[in-house]
Structure formats: structure tokens, C-alpha cells
Amino acid sequence: MNLKRLFACFLLLSSLAYAQHQPQHKKAAKAAPTTQPKANTASAIHQSALVIDTHADTPQRFLDENFDLGENTPVSEGHIDLDKIKQGNLGAEFFSIWVEPEFKGHYAKRAMDLIDSVYQQAARHPDKMTMAFTADDILRAHEQHRFAALMGIEGGHAIENDMRLLRDFYRVGVRYMTLTWSNTNEWGDSSGDIQDPNVKHHNGMTDFGRDVVREMNRLGMIVDISHVSDATFYQALLVSQAPVIASHSSSRELTNQPRNMTDDMLRAMTNNGGVVMVNFYSAFIDENYRKASSDPEKIKQRDAEVEAYKKAHPHPDGSPVGYNETVAIEKRWAAQFPRPPLKSLIDHIDHIAKVAGIDHVGLGSDFDGVTSLPDGIDSVADLPKITQALLQRGYTRDQIHKILGGNFMRVMREVEATAKRLQAERKEADALSLEDIELMLGNRAEPAQMVRRVNEYGVSFDLTDERRTHLKSEGADDLALDAMARTKRP
Ligand SMILES: [Zn+2]
């Protein structure tokens, strides 16, 4: 029994003693409604929270299985649908745009197809869900009692080493990106293959990788360090001007998995102001399960079975056989190991809350992307059990609300504010000088292109009559000159 409960017992006993000594007529007053205790039941705490989960792999099911969120499917098939979302009071989900490395040569197309699949779901269920792109959007959806769908890219290889694609993904609504998935890409190391001598590593990130982080800051796309190597993690924190997240990572101190976070990393997250969202996967939260399921012989046997299936069921168009086509085999395989208790998951939340701080922990289930979950957590409908367990451990209503979504909202707002600041700075610095304009004219820039650039960046000089005449003699047309007159920055 903890001190708090001891104190509660004392209060109860003394109030009983007090009641016994009251004159009879006072008893009538006891019927007055008491609202305080009710508001702090697990159910009341959970139902009044804005619950945000930052990682679910459901889009593969939308795209490859034609799964509709409106279908109420058994938990053996999927962890998320609209009924389960309602039961779990989930306010917002980040759907993972996970590009399997097998799609080499078609990463961006695969990502765009997955993105479209999320929009399609929102279009089919406008009364129950909506796309969301900002912290305010999430709040608005919550007030309208609609589920907010957001998107995060899982695996930086999806941008095909092209900053323009990164910006395009932001434009179509992607709001976070894990710098890597389990594969090291051409600009960042992953924890998934960091021990593999056959993979070319970069000691963390290349210069381009650092530029990706900077551009994400400028755009307002949250930098997600789940899956990256330790060196990539520390470098990303040095470069990022905004708080970062781990959208689905647990504690390495409790479960020795390389993609979990050490206590030093957790403390670095405190300094950064970011949030670590705990992954629910049994092998990431329970050391016994991890050990049992990492038996090399058993893994070999599973991989062989998956490969055999892929060979026997090739796609006619040659496209890769995706994860969710073989996931049934993997789930069957995973079921041979007993599920860990819910306590293991709560231990991870508790540990991160203690080491990183209560403001730096959240939920990143990995629903629809994992083959085993702790006992009692069969789907998103079971999220209230987490609230109940946290309450039993002595967490207060405010603390639980932070874990369930409040911490993430704070980070999203900070990322948005940083982007706003960086964009304002960049615009000022990039205004075109008179020399830039003369150079463009010397290079015979197309008039339309010149208007576009002037409109985009603005100019840093006053277009006096003298300059107008001069630039006209150099070949500037009136539309471009008018644009210069309009876009002068202070
Ligand atoms: Zn993942």
C-alpha cells in the first residue's frame, strides 16, 4: 500500500467516526450528490481525455486488402476499426505510411498509394472521421466527436534522396517521418542493421541527412527517431531546432532490444523537449518474450515458411508480396510464445515517465504492425485498461491525460511554432537582390519563370524609376517589373 492510499483510508475512517457522532437530523444531507470521486474513476479519466496514438500500420490493410474502417473485424484480423476506436475513445491516430524496402525503385509511388488509402477512408466516413494536419485540427475533430486521421512516413528511404519529394509529402499531409526504418538508407543509419557488416553505414547521418532534419524543421514535419541507430539519434537531436518524437519505441533498460531507447537517450529526450511513445509489441516490452522469440532456429523456420509462401503466391505484375499477406503465418508463429502480462507494458510507460519525466511519455501502439500484444490488449478498444492500470499505480488524472495525448499535443504545437519562425527567417534571407535579377536577365530567364521566382522570394530593393528603366533595357518585361514593385520586403 502506498502513502496516498494509507492517507485515503485514514480520511475514510475519520469521516465514519465523525458521522457516528452527528445528531440524527443531519443525516438527510447525506443524499446530496457527490461528483468529485466519480470524475476520478478510470473510466471518467479515460473518457475525458484526448487520446492520441502515434503509430498504426493499418494503411497496408486499406490498400492491399481493401479493408474498410467501418467493418467490425475480429481482433485476430485487425487491431483498429471505427467501433473499436469508439470503445477505446481514441481521438487521433497517426497512420503509418510504411514503405517496404522491397519496393525499391517505387518508394514514392508506394507511399503515395498508402497516403491515398487514408484519405479514401476519411472520405467514406465523413460523419465519424476526418483528416487532420495540425494540433488545432485534432482539437476541432475531438470537439466534433470525430476521429482524427493523421499520417507519418515510416522510413526515410521513401523520399528517394530527394528534398523535393520530402516537401511534396508534407504538402499532401504527412506530419512526421522516421529518419529510417529497420534498413539503413543512403543518408541515415538504422538500429535494424547496424551490426551488419555488409551494410554501408555513415557513422550516423550524412550531410544530406542533416539537411533533411533541417528541412523537416522548416516545413513543420515532426522528426521521428524511432528505428534509427544510436548515433543517428544523437546527431538528429543536435541538428533539430524543434522537439522530436519516438513514435513507437520502448525502454532498452527493461527490454534489451536495439531499437528501444537507453536511459541516456531518454534523458536526451528530456533536454530536447520531445516525447517517447511506448511501443506495445510483446518483444519490445517483455524480456522473457523477447528472448523466447529471438531463438535463431525458430526465426529461421519462420522466415523459411514466409519465403515459401511468397514463392508460391507471386503477384502477376511482379510487385512484391507485402507484409500483410504473410502476417497470418507470422501471427501463428508468434502465438507459440505466451503473451506477456499487461504489467510489462505499464512498466515501460512508468520507467520512461520516471527517467525522461512525465512530460515526455506517450502511446505508440504499433497496432496492425505487430504479431503479439500484451495480455488484455487485443485492439484499440482496450486502451482504457492502460488508464486503469496507470491509475492503480498512483498516476493522477492530469498525469494520465498527459500520457494519453497531452504531451504529444504540446510537441506538435512546438514543431508548428518552430516552422513558422524558420519560414519567416528564411523568407527574409532569400529575398532576391538587384544582382540576382541582373544575373537572371543575363542568363535570359523566361519571363514567366522570373515572375514566379520574384513572387516566391520577393526582392530586397526598391524598384525606383531609374532601376525600372535600367532593368527594362536589360530585357525585363512589365509583368516581372510589376511583381518586383509588389514584393519588396521591408
Ligand atoms: Zn516501426
Residue 151 Cα to ligand 1 middle (Å): 14
DSSP string, 55-97: EE-THHHHHHH---TTS---TTT-S--HHHHHHTTEEEEEEEE
Pairwise CA distance, residues 10 & 148, whole Å: 44
Residue 412 Cα to ligand 1 middle (Å): 20
Decide: pTM greater than 0.85: no
191-215: per-residue pLDDT in tens? 999 999 999 999 999 999 999 999 9
pLDDT surpassing 50 at residue 231: yes
pLDDT surpassing 80 at residue 156: yes
Average pLDDT for 115-129: 98
Residue 182 Cα to ligand 1 middle (Å): 8
Axis-axis angle for helices 465-474, 478-486 (nearest 10): 140
Which pLDDT belongs to residue 38? 57
Average pLDDT for 50-72: 96
Residue 154 Cα to ligand 1 middle (Å): 7
Residues making up the chain, counted from first to last:
490
Phi–psi pair at 226, nearest 5 degrees: -60, 140
Which pLDDT belongs to residue 430? 77
pLDDT surpassing 80 at residue 19: no
Residue 185 Cα to ligand 1 middle (Å): 15
pLDDT surpassing 60 at residue 41: yes
Q: Which of 242, 234, 177 is nearest to 205 (CA)?
A: 234
Which pLDDT belongs to residue 321? 83
Pairwise CA distance, residues 251 & 391, whole Å: 21
| Distances from the Cα of 29 to the Cα of 25, 33, 34, 38, angstroms | 8, 10, 11, 19
98-113: per-residue pLDDT in tens? 999 989 899 999 999 9
* 3 state SS of 446: coil
Percentage above 70 pLDDT, the chain: 92
Of 322 and 354, the one with more pLDDT: 354
Residue 162 Cα to ligand 1 middle (Å): 22
Which pLDDT belongs to residue 489? 83
Mean per-residue pLDDT of the chain: 91
| Distances from the Cα of 450 to the Cα of 441, 466, 473, angstroms | 9, 20, 16
DSSP string, 2-64: -HHHHHHHHHHHHHHHHHHTS-GGGGGGGGS---HHHHTSHHHHHHTS-EEEEEE-THHHHHH
Phi–psi pair at 128, nearest 5 degrees: -110, -20
pLDDT surpassing 50 at residue 140: yes
* 3 state SS of 151: strand
pLDDT surpassing 90 at residue 13: no
Which pLDDT belongs to residue 26? 40
Identify the bridge partners of residue 178 per DSSP, sorted by sequence position. 154, 224
Residue 72 Cα to ligand 1 middle (Å): 25
Pairwise CA distance, residues 260 & 228, whole Å: 10
Axis-axis angle for helices 447-457, 434-442 (nearest 10): 160
Residue 137 Cα to ligand 1 middle (Å): 25
pLDDT surpassing 80 at residue 39: no
Compute and round to an integer the Cα radius of gyration of the chain. 27
Q: Which amino acid is at 443?
A: N
Residue 153 Cα to ligand 1 middle (Å): 10
Residue 227 Cα to ligand 1 middle (Å): 7
Residue 453 Cα to ligand 1 middle (Å): 39
Residue 89 Cα to ligand 1 middle (Å): 23
Q: Is the dihedral of CA 177, 400, 122, 141 positive or negative?
A: negative
Which pLDDT belongs to residue 49? 98
Average pLDDT for 4-29: 42
Which pLDDT belongs to residue 436? 86
